[in-house]
Amino acid sequence: MESINLLPLAVGHMIGLGAIGSCLGIGIMASKYLESAARQPEMMEPLQAKVFLLVGVLDGAFIIATGIGLWFALANPFK
C-alpha cells in the first residue's frame, strides 16, 4: 500500500485525537475548578485566571494539530 493512501486516515487521527484529548482535558479541569470553588469560594477569583490560561493552552495544542493535519491533506508534502 502506498503511504499516500493512508494520508486521510492519518489526518483524521491527528484532528480527532487532538479534539478528544482537548475536550477531556478541559472537562476534567473544569470539574476540578468547580469542585475547588465549592470547597473554598474565596479562591474563585485567583483560580479563574489560571483556568482560562490553561483552556487557551489546551485549545492551542488542538488548533496546531488541526493546522498541521490540514497542511498534510492540502499541500501533500509527501509526493
| Active-site residue flag, 59 | yes
**Residues 31, 71: Cα–Cα separation, whole Å:** 34
Catalytically annotated residue among 59, 60, 67, 78? 59
> Which residue's C-alpha cell is 497542511?
71
Catalytic residue positions? 59
